Amino acid sequence: MDDPILSHDELKALLNKKHAHQSDDGDGSVFQSALSFLEWVEFNNSSKDLILIHGEKFQILYANKVYLEKVQKTLDEIKGKPYWTVYPKLDGPLASSLEGYITGLEQEERISGTDGVIYRARIFPRKIRGAFQLSILILENISKQINFENKLILSTRILEYSREAIIVTDSSNRIQSVNPAFSKITGYAPSEVVGEDPRILRSNVHSTEFYKEMWLTLLSKGHWDGEIINKKKNGDLFTSWLSITTLMTGGIIDHFVGILDDISEKKIREEQLTRLAYQDPLTGLANRYLLLERIPQILAFCKRRDMKAAILAIDLDRFKPVNDNYGHIVGDKLLQVLAKRLALGIRGEDIVARMGGDEFILIVNAITNPEDAAKVAEKVQTLMSQVVEIDGHEIVQSASIGIAIYPDDGEDPEILMRNADKALYFSKRKGRNNYHFF
- pLDDT tens per residue, range 173-220: 999 999 999 999 999 999 999 999 999 999 999 999 999 999 999 999
- pLDDT tens per residue, range 270-314: 777 777 788 888 998 999 888 998 999 999 999 999 999 999 999
- CA distances from residue 276 to 27, 141, 288, 356, 383 in whole angstroms, order as listed: 86, 63, 12, 15, 27
Percent of the chain with pLDDT over 70: 86
Which CATH entry fits the domain spanning 279-437: 1.10.2020.10, 3.20.20.140, 3.30.70.270, 3.30.499.10?
3.30.70.270
- pLDDT tens per residue, range 216-234: 999 999 999 999 999 999 9
pLDDT band of 16, cuts 50, 70, 90: low
- pLDDT tens per residue, range 339-364: 999 999 888 889 999 998 999 999 99
Report pLDDT for 123. 83
HSE (CB half, 13 Å, CA atoms) of 64?
Answer: 22
HSE (CB half, 13 Å, CA atoms) of 98?
Answer: 5
Report pLDDT for 138. 86
- pLDDT tens per residue, range 102-142: 666 777 788 777 778 888 888 887 765 555 467 888 888 88
**SS3 state of residue 187:** coil
- CA-CA distance, 360 to 336, in Å (whole number)? 12
- pLDDT tens per residue, range 48-77: 888 888 887 888 888 888 889 888 999 889
pLDDT band of 95, cuts 50, 70, 90: confident
- φ, ψ of residue 215 to 5 degrees: the values are -70, -35
- CA-CA distance, 136 to 14, in Å (whole number)? 14
Q: Are 108 and 120 in contact (CB under 8 A)?
A: yes
- CA-CA distance, 238 to 430, in Å (whole number)? 56
Report pLDDT for 237. 92
Look over the chain and give the mean of its residue pLDDT values, rounded to a whole number.
Answer: 83
pLDDT band of 17, cuts 50, 70, 90: very low
The closest of 438, 390, 394 to 416, measured between CA atoms, is: 438
- CA-CA distance, 117 to 89, in Å (whole number)? 12
**How is domain 162-266 classified at the architecture level of CATH?**
2-Layer Sandwich (3.30)
- pLDDT tens per residue, range 32-41: 444 554 554 4
pLDDT band of 23, cuts 50, 70, 90: very low
- CA-CA distance, 423 to 311, in Å (whole number)? 11
Instruction: Find the helix or strand (DSSP H, E) in which 28 lies.
Output: helix 28-44
**How is domain 8-143 classified at the architecture level of CATH?**
2-Layer Sandwich (3.30)
pTM of full prediction above 0.75: no
Surface-to-core class of residue 424, CB atoms within 10 Å of its CB (0-12 exposed, 13-18 middle, 19+ buried): buried
The closest of 252, 220, 249, 245 to 169, measured between CA atoms, is: 245
Inform me whether the pLDDT recorded for 144 exceeds 80: yes
Domain boundaries, the chain: 8-143, 162-266, 279-437
The closest of 341, 346, 354, 393 to 373, measured between CA atoms, is: 346
Report pLDDT for 30. 40
- CA-CA distance, 365 to 299, in Å (whole number)? 8
- CA-CA distance, 156 to 162, in Å (whole number)? 10
Q: Do domains 8-143 and 162-266 have the same CATH topology?
A: yes
Report pLDDT for 409. 94
